[in-house]
Structure formats: C-alpha cells, structure tokens
Structure 1
Amino acid sequence: MFSPKATFSVTVNFLMLALSLFLCTDDAVAQVPILIKRRDSLTSLLKTQTDTSRGFTLLRLSDNYLRLNDGHNEPAIKYSTEAYQIFSKAKNGYGMAWAKFEEGTAYMSLRKFPLALSALNIAKDTPISDTIKRKNELLGTIWNQIATIYDDQGNMVQSTDILIKKVLPFYEAAKDERNIAFTNASLATTFLNFKQYEKAVYYYKKELIDYKGPKTESYFAIDYSRLALCLTEQSKLKEAKPYLDSALKILQAYPKSYPWLKYYYGNANWYQKQGQHDQALVNYNEALAVAKQIGDQYNSINILFGKYDVLYSQKNYTAAKPVAYQIYNLNRQLKDTIKLDRIGIYKILYEIEKATGNNTAALNWMEHYSALADSINKTDEKLKFNGLEEKYQAAKKEKDILKLQNQAKEQQLSLNKNRLFLVLLLGALIILTLLLLTYFTIAKNRKRAAEQNEILHQQQLKQKESEQQLLTFNAMLEGQEKERTRLSRDLHDGLGGTLAGIKLHLQSQANQTQQPGLQPIIEQMADAVKELRRIAHNTMPENLLRFGLEAAVSDLCENLQTPATVINFYATNLSKHLSQQEQLTIYRIIQELLGNALKYANASEILVQCIQSENHFSITVEDNGNGFDVDTTMDKSGMGLFNVQNRTRYLQGTMDIQSSKEVGTTVNIDLKVNNG
C-alpha cells in the first residue's frame, strides 16, 4: 500500500508557522492594544527630541510597526532610515547597526529580499562599541534575520549553516539563554522538514531540556509535540509519550489554536504507530477541526494524508476515498505547483480507485501520474512504484482511453461553469462586506472623535493644575538649593575651620608636652573634619562649583561605583557655559537615578550618558538589573522619581522609562538648557 506524506516546500511551511504563531495565539492578540498605545506615546515623544535620543525613539517606532504586522510596514523603513542618518552623523555604531537591522526586517516583511539582505549586510559589518552582551545580542539577531531570508528563498543549506556558525555563537557569547533556545528550535524544525529525525531530536532536546527558564508559552507546546513526532518516526514510542503529555499540560491554559493542531497531529501519529487506529482517527479529526478554525489549509493536507493512511490500512476504502479527493481538491485550491506533491496525490487516487473497483477512474489517474513522471524524469532514471508504470503502459492500449478523455473534458467544462458562478458570488460578498465595514468605520470614528475631545478637555485642566504645581515646586527647589549652598559654606568655612584649628592646637600641645593621651583625640578630630567636609560636599558638590558639570558627574559615578557594580560614564559636547542652577539640576537628576539603580536594581553594570546639542541636553541612565513594572511603580512612586520628574519639568524636559524584569531599566530624559 502506498502512504505518502505531503512534501510541501519548507519555505511555505515556515512562513505559515510564523504567521500562525503570531496571529492565532491569545498573547499576540492581547499585545495589539498595548503596541498601539506605545506607538502613540513614542510619536508624541519624538516631537520633543533631537540627535541620538531622537534616533533611538525612531528605532522603537520602526520596531513597533513591524511588531503590529498590520501590512503597513513602509513607515518602519522611513523611521529606520532617518535614525541611520542621525547615528551616522554621531558615529554611533550600535545605533547604525540597529537602524539597518530594522530597515532590513521591514524590507523582508514586504518580500523585497535583495533590499533586505543589502541592509542586513551593512548592519552586520558596522563596527559596534558597546557592552559585550548588547553587542553580541544585536549581531546574533542580525544574523538570525539573514538566515531567515535564505530560508524563505529555499536555501536551507545556507540558512542552517548561518544558524550554527553565526547565530548560536553570538547568543552564547551574550549568554542569552532564551534566544539560544529559539535558535535550537529553528534548527530542529529544519531537520524535521528534511526528515532527519535524529538531528531534529538533538536540537529539540537542546531547546526543551537545556533551557532552564519557564516553559509556559504555547510555542513550547509546539516543540514538545514535534519532538514526540520525531521520536515516533524513529519508533521510540515509549520515549515520545511524556513529551506529548508535556505539550498537553501547557495547552490547558490556551484556547484551540495552531499549537493544538501540532499536538493532535503528533498524538495521532503516535496512536497510529501503536496500531490504535480508532484513537488515531479521533486525533486526526481534532487536528482538522483546529486547522479549519484557524484557516490553515497547508497543514490540513498533511493531516488528511495521515487520516487516509489509517483508513486505507483498515481497508475502509469507502471512507478513505473522499479523504483522498479532499486532498486533491485542497491542493488545487492552494494552486500548488510542486510536482512531487501532485505526483503523490495522483498515486493515492489511483490506489483508492483501484481498491474500490473503479478501473476507469484508476486509469485516468494513472495517465496523470505517468505524464507528470515523464516531465520530472528527463534522465534514464524513471519513477517506478509497485509496477504502476508497467500497468499503465499496458492499459494505455485499450480503446476506452479516448472515451475517458472525452468524459474528462466534459467534466472540466462543468467545473469551469461552477467556478465562474462561485467567483461572481464571492465578488458580491466582498463588495457587501466592504460597504458594511465602511459604515461601521465612520460610526466608530465619530464616536472616537467625541471621546478624544472630552479627553483633550480633561488633559487641559490637568495641565493647568500641573503647571501651577510645577511653579510651586520650582520655587521650593530654588529655595532648597540656596539653603544647601549656605549650609555647605557655613559648615566648610565656619565649623570646619574651627575644628581644623582645634586639631592643630591639640597637635601643638602634644608635640610640646609629649603627652601620648592626646593622640587619639587628635585622630578623632581629624575624622570629624573629614566627615564634616563629606557632608558639606553632598550638600553642595564642590567639584560642580569649581570644575563644572562633566567633572562633577564623573566624580559622582566614580565615588558610587562598587566592586559589585561598574558605572560607565560617557559625555559628548557638554557646554561649560550652562548656568549654575541648570548644572545643579542636571547633577541632582543623575544623582537620584543612580541612587535608585544602586538601591533597587541589583545591577552589575550601569551606563550614564550625557549628550548636549546646542540648547538640547539628553540624559540616559541604563542598568542590567532586575527591572520593574513601570506603570505600577510610577503610580506608587515616592519622593525619588517624583523629584526627578519635577526637576525634568523645571528644565521643560520629558522623561521616558523602559523597563523589563530580568532585563534591566533605561531612563531617557531630554531637557532644554540655555547655552548662552
């Protein structure tokens, strides 16, 4: 008995999988409103920024459009191109590479592969100066996208070579366990598509066993199911079953979608190998129901082949026959032009017609098979399957062939008429749907406009209240800094001078009288003088008054650095003509952010960056610590972030906080200063 599986191209299967994972999971759908809200926030922030801070916001906007995947990816190209020009002017290699990556990804989503490869090649060749982790994560991601393009173009050898020799080493250098797991999963799926089950098992286990993070997302269930399928094909049924159970455990938290399809298919295959045909049919039917629900016709063909195998092996030819024709019709709807797919379908149609005693139809499918086999085999090597070629040559001499051909033509004319009717009906339905969508869109826009006007009014009221509060806080800040300056001067010049005088007097007495009992007192007085000077310096940093902002911030980073936390400080074009009040405000902002990072983040590395361009001053403080929920923390924030916000408003600035748990926190602040 012949029982082929569908051999649809790896590229199509790969793309359909990616699309299904994005569109058919609750997580992706739930993210859409968040992404739209984030886009609006970034667009507003962009209006207030210049230079590199604007560049990073442009890249986040580009990424936002690509994540939404709503078919409008041209803005992603526009934003990434503008960002590249900004970073190129600033000679920022990390920003340049990131910008070209976003541009290449946008072209890839538009199926413009030559342009995508050109941009990604520039990205990977751009020199990057950054932390080891960020540099290697970016390079790994760039190479991974290049591998995906080769995969889409059907060059699986090149794609696999890049994943193994480029992507994995970069992620391993960055110690990025999650992306290492995802790369192993990609390699495993490639080997599965080529039926190299042993290699596929190796990489699936690298993903699912070596990765120690939580495995609750639905795509882990997909890979558990695929691992079980590979083991089943190797007849390792006992080893395969626990992985199917793991997939089912994860999927209990998810509605029926693409991951369930892969579970049911793997489970059906396992029962089929066990000889439990009834259970296999139940699972194949469940998989088909999910495929129909999510509109996945490509995977439906593979499932139908499995169902056909079970029915044929049971000699249930009456049930197997409509399944065989369902495969044929679905393949035609998809307009599949892969000859090996069609020749396999022709063979099972011959097989089932022969088994049901319909020799005329069987000869018809034999003719299709032979004609296609001739076009495939241009060498002396010919396709032979159970003597079908010889049987066809003998049957071809029969006089009934002409009659069969005429019947086929009549059936084709009938099919063409039916197809025309269906096309016209579908066109009418599309027009009606468009009209309904237009009506509902207009009504929705009117309602949204009214809501936005009300929101705008409330925002104006809140803005007036905030402006009044800001005036009050600014006056309080100025008063506090003046009082700190006076207190620092009094402590240093007054009490500090007095204590220093007392120390000198005691030292003189000790030298004259040779009294050793005075020495401990002298040392205590010296400690008191040092502590007094430290308090005076914290109250008003002396380096800021004497040497300016850049020296003061550098000194602050150096003093706060500990063996457990490295603080890197970078400054570009900081003017020495800023007013003392502006310098002091900027210093206090950085001091407060560093204090928060050291106190709460548990970070091993902190980056402080200050960039000035004429009247615009940008501050970035980034750590690789614990991260936090920004919305929740801002609602409950104490005086720390409250003071940072108000000092930012004092200089007519904006603040943006990006934070992810176990990844870290980035605070971007843009200020307006007087560079006079």
Structure 2
Amino acid sequence: MTRFFYTLLLLGILITGLKAQQPAKKISLVDSLKGMLEQKIPDSLRARTNFNLAEQLLYADTLQSNNYLEQGRKLIKKNAYLQAIYYYYAATLESRTDLHKSEVSFKKAHALLAPFKTEDAYLLQAKSWHNYGVLQQLKDNYRGMADALLNKAIPYAIKSGDKAYLAVNYMDLSLVFKNNKQFEKAQIYIDSTLQILQKVKGKKSYKIVAYHTAAENYVFLKKYPQAKAMLDSASVLLSPNPESPLYLDYYFAEGLYFDDVKQYDQAIISLDKGIEMALKLQARNEEQRLLMQKLHVLRSQRKFDKALSIANYLLKQKDMLFLSDDRLLVYTDLAETWSGLGNMSEAYKWMKTASLMRDSINKSRLEKDVHELEIKYKKAENQREIGVLKATNEKAALSVKNNRLLAWLLGSVALFLLIISFFGLLYFRNSKKLTKQEEINYRQRLKELEQDKQLTISNAMLEGEERERQRVGRDLHDGLGGTLAGIKINLSDVVANTSPAGKDTELGKIIAQLDNSVNDLRSIARNLMPETLLKFGLETALKDLCETFNNNGLKITLQLFDIQESMEISMKINIYRIIQEILSNTVRHSGASQLLLQCSQNESVFLITAEDNGKGFDPESANHTKGIGLDNIRNRVALLHGKMELNSAINEGTAINIELHVGE
C-alpha cells in the first residue's frame, strides 16, 4: 500500500501557512523594511516594522530575528494593540525552539487581540489560531488542529477579508483529512482552496502548493488523469524558476504519482531529483519525506537491498523521525523489507518493534482520555457537594420559619384565650397537613432515589459496554489484525518462492480468503470503536454511519441542524448508539427502501426523528415483546432524561420521535 507522509508537510508552513515567497523577493522585502527603519516614522509603525523583520528573518538569521523582536517590544509602551500582536510574533519565533512556550504565547495573543474588531486584528487572530493548530498537530492532536482551523482560524480569516489566507486554512484542513485517510472530504477543501485562488491575483506560490496537494490527493483517490493535470499546472508555474524550493514538493507528488501507476523507474528519477535538491538546500524534513517514498518504490521493485540501505540511513538521523507515527512507518517498512529479503528473523524483530510502538501510542492516548474522565468526575463530585449543601440550607431555613410561627402562636395564647383555642386548632390542622405533605415528599424522594439508582446502574452498564467495545475493537485491530498481517507476509513469501504453476493452487486461495478475513476484522473493529466520532465529532460520525447503511438497499436522507460539538463525549456516544440502533432495526426488520433521519439541537435539547416507508408493525405488540434493539434505545433515552414516541401501523411505515436533554 502507498505510504502517507503529510505530517512533515506542515512543518514548513508555521509562519505564513505556505512557502509564500521566493528568495529574491524575500530579500527585497527585508531591504524595504530596513529602509523604513532609517526614516522618521511613528513609534507604533516602527514597532510593527521590527516585528515584520523578525518574522521575515526567522529562518535566515535567528539571532537578528530575535534582536528585531526585542527592539519592537521596547517601543510598545502603553499601546494595548502592539502588546497583543507582540505575543503573536513572539510565539512564532518560539515555535522554532520551544513548542510549549509558543503555545502559551499564542493563547496570550488570542486573549489580548479579542477586544479589537478591525480587519487587521481579525487577520492576526486567524494566523495565531492557525499556527496554534499546527502546534496541536505536531503533538499528534489532529482533532485539536481541526478544531482550531474550523472554529477559530477560518471564521477570523473570513472576517478579515483576506481570501488568500482563507485558502491557506482550507488547504491545511484538507491535510488533516488526508492524514486520516478521508480523501473524499479532503478533496472538498482542496477544491474550495483552488476556487478561491483562481479569483485572487498573484499568490503564485500558494497556487503551486495547492496543485501539489490536489495531485497527491487525486493519486490516493485513484483519479490519475486529474492528478496528472494538477502536476502539469504546477510545472507550468514552476518552470521559470528551476531553483525554487517548491520543486521539493513537486518532485514528491510526481514520484508518488509514478509509483501508484507502477512506472517505478520514472518515480525513482523524480524522487532522486528532489533528494538532490533537499540535500543542497539542507531541507532535512523534505529529504526524509522523499527518502521514505523512495523506500516504498524500491520495495515495489523488489530491490530490497537498496530499500534496506535507506531505512537504516533514516534510523541513524537523530533530527528525523521525531514523530512517533513516522517511526512506526519506518519500523513497518523494515519488517516488510526483511521479509522480502527472506530473513524472517529480522522481519519478526521489526514487526515486534512496530507492535510495541503502536501499543505505546495507544497507551499514551488512553492515559489522556483517562485524565479527561478524571477531570469530569471531579467536576461532578463538586456539583454533588454543592447540591447537598444547598439542601441543608433550605432545611435549616424551613426550621427557622416554623420556630417563628410557633413563638407567635404562644404569644397570642397569653393575650387572648379565645384566640389561643382558634390558633391551636389551626396549628393542629396545619401540622396534620404538613405531616401528610412531608410523608408525600418522603415517598417522592424515595421514588426519585430509586430512579437515580436505576439510571446510575444503566449508565455504568452502558459505559462499561462502550469501554469493552473500544477494548475489543483495539485488540481486534492491533492484536489479531497484526497477527493476520504477519501470517499473510509468511504465506506471500511461500507463494513467491513457489513455481508459477503452483501459485494458483489452494495456497493462493487461502491468501485471498485471509485478505477477506482481515477486511471483515477491520470492519468489525470500526463498528465497535467509532473513531470518526472521537476524532471529528458527532456530525461527521453520523454522516459516515448513514453512508455505511446506504449500502444495504436502503436510501437514507440525513438532515442535520445546529449540531453543537461542545457536548460531552459520553452524550455524543449515546446519541450515536441510539441512531445506530434505529438504522440497524430499520435494515433488519422494516423492509423499507427509504428512511428520513433528522437531527437537530436547540441549546440543551437534542431531537431525533426517523421515518421510513417500510412494512410497519403493531406498537402494542412490540411493547409486550422482549426486543433488545428497542430496549437499548429506551435505556439510552432514559439515561439522557429524554422521552421517546413510537408511531407505526401495519403497511404504513414507522416514525420515531426522540427528545433528549444534553445540557448540564
């Protein structure tokens, strides 16, 4: 399979989002800014000029870059806006040496820029959130990057009116989806980028990078004519400047294209050109990216000795493979390369190393999830303690009120005997009513406690079920899946050493059956553990779920209105499971050809409506029948303090209306 190396592509876009200038133009801009400092200009403009010089010289001269930043800081004085943008530029420079410090400075810039409502402030907010998102990606937090781009950087870029920078954010968002192998979604944002750039004058280098990215994505979609057209468009723009660093990405995309169409010799030529330029420019990240693609081509050519040489070289480079996902790819490549060389002992060694690395990655992510659950638990405990204290205060206030009433009655007895008798009778009657009311309240409280107990038990069972689903999903995918993959490697090696006449024997059929088993295993793992929900939110997960069921002879029309992704993950999972059960029941029992599914949210109320044109059933009979599907739906609805209405009749289809409470 084709490898994916988009991670390193983001490392070069932290400052402006893309490689926006050629060397000659960058020098001209620096000279122009230095010339402005020699003139008599206001301190505020001088400060901004120093900040711009610090950004422009970041990669050319780090020492000068820091000096200009410091000169600009001295000119801030009491200017709140300059103070805000200083943190943006400081965070940009810190990103070269200290990612944590850079992240703190970006957060400071967000807070200080918030009061300003100008286009310039909006653009700086967009850049600040964009670069903050890149920092999240460097920490393997793709969800954090997507959130920063979608909910912050892109809205601010739209407000700023800078269409070119809006295109930058769409392009980077497409990379997030490509990293997660969602190529169709990635193509949507790539197309948006290209449409915007067609309307923007200049920005030649932006367009070149967009063409590179589009070409790569089309290769992964197996749309080779479109990929070739994108490469040709990039080549036309690049040809006037053969020394442009943007050729590095062009050679990679071209090598990827030739590799996928099995023109391996052409792929090697393109990648070697890129590697030679990367070495000349000392572009270590691009060198690594090109070498890893070349390694894949060599393995496709069965030139395992050369592939092994590249893999060993990469392992020796301390400044490469700093991301765990990249190390995992190289370890896997080494296992497959040694397998191709027939050294199964080394192949097993590297496969085991890759497996341990994969377990380590999963463990670190699990620890993060556990930490988040612990925070939520402590928050719930604090809320419970506040509730107990409030109830105690109310009880004390009621006691004080009753004592005052008793004192007033005793005083009245001393003054008027007749009034004593009257109020004595009144007090007796009131006491009787109060006692009766207290008894009613006590029974009601017992009933509520019993309901809370049942909900707690149901919640624990459902949470346990979800944890078990995730555990089984991971075990199937990472454990049994890895084992089946290893078996396939061994069987493939046996077939490779078998005479041509024997390759179509039962052993070949067994390998094909093993392939089908691996695919079925992965499908089961995805169903048990909805990764799309955890990574990209409820709306995306529901769309993917409906696409899956559309393949079962049922046309599903999904309509989503105002879905808020800020609700707790446990609520999202319950909503996802409810809809999954509805779809499953419709496919298995209704015989419907069409299903309309609507999901909407109004603050803390979440509404689900499902209507199909199936054969229907008698709801009264269903209420007396033990059905696991309906019971699961009712349990989850009750857990979210909701209510469900089921309308159906024989040969008239079925309609389900559910109202859930997802707020605090």
Q: What TM-score results when the alignment is normalised by the length of structure 2? A: 0.49
Structure of greater Rg: 1
Quick one: higher RCO (CA 8 Å, sep 6+), 1 or 2? 1
Q: What TM-score results when the alignment is normalised by the length of structure 1? A: 0.48
